[in-house]
């Protein structure tokens, strides 16, 4: 977001200062190399699920069985929603943002 803001200011002022140019060129190279501006890592989400499951299994004697069943049922319901949101933001939203803000 900062680079987009810098780019918009420099385009409005027609500023051809070498420092601005260097910053923008570096950011463009990074964007071309990565492909997308934003990417959500699925592995971090999986590690979070495993960590939460381990925490709950360690405390299974203290926690009622109904709470665990409800938690894992909600997790199974919300997992497809997470995949949809992460796929949308990693593809369509970035394409739209790149076409709007990139020169």
How many angstroms separate the CA atoms of 52 and 79, rounded? 14
Q: How many CB atoms lie under 10 A from the CB of residue 39? A: 13
Per-residue pLDDT of the chain (103 residues; tens, 9 = 90+): 344 444 444 444 444 555 555 555 555 555 555 554 444 455 666 666 766 666 666 555 555 677 777 777 877 787 777 777 777 777 776 677 677 776 5
Task: Provide, for the chain, the percentages of residues in helix, strand and coil under a 3-state DSSP scheme, each rounded to the nearest 5.
Answer: 80, 0, 20
Q: Say what the pLDDT of residue 82 is.
A: 77
Question: Does residue 40 contact residue 86 with C-beta atoms inside 8 Å?
Answer: yes
Q: Say what the pLDDT of residue 38 is.
A: 47
Q: Say what the pLDDT of residue 77 is.
A: 81
How many angstroms separate the CA atoms of 7 and 28, rounded? 11
Q: Say what the pLDDT of residue 6 is.
A: 43
Which positions ≥6 away from 64 have C-beta within 8 Å? none
How many angstroms separate the CA atoms of 14 and 28, rounded? 18
């Amino acid at each position: 977001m900062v680079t987009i803001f810098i780019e918009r200011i420099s385009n409005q002022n027609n500023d051809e200062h070498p420092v601005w140019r260097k910053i923008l060129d570096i950011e463009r190279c990074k964007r071309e190399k990565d492909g997308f501006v934003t990417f959500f890592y699925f592995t971090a989400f999986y590690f979070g699920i495993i960590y939460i499951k381990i925490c709950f299994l360690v405390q299974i004697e203290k926690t009622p069985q109904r709470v665990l069943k409800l938690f894992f049922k909600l997790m199974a319901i919300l997992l497809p929603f997470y995949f949809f949101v992460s796929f949308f933001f990693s593809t369509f939203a970035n394409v739209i943002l790149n076409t709007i803000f990139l020169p």
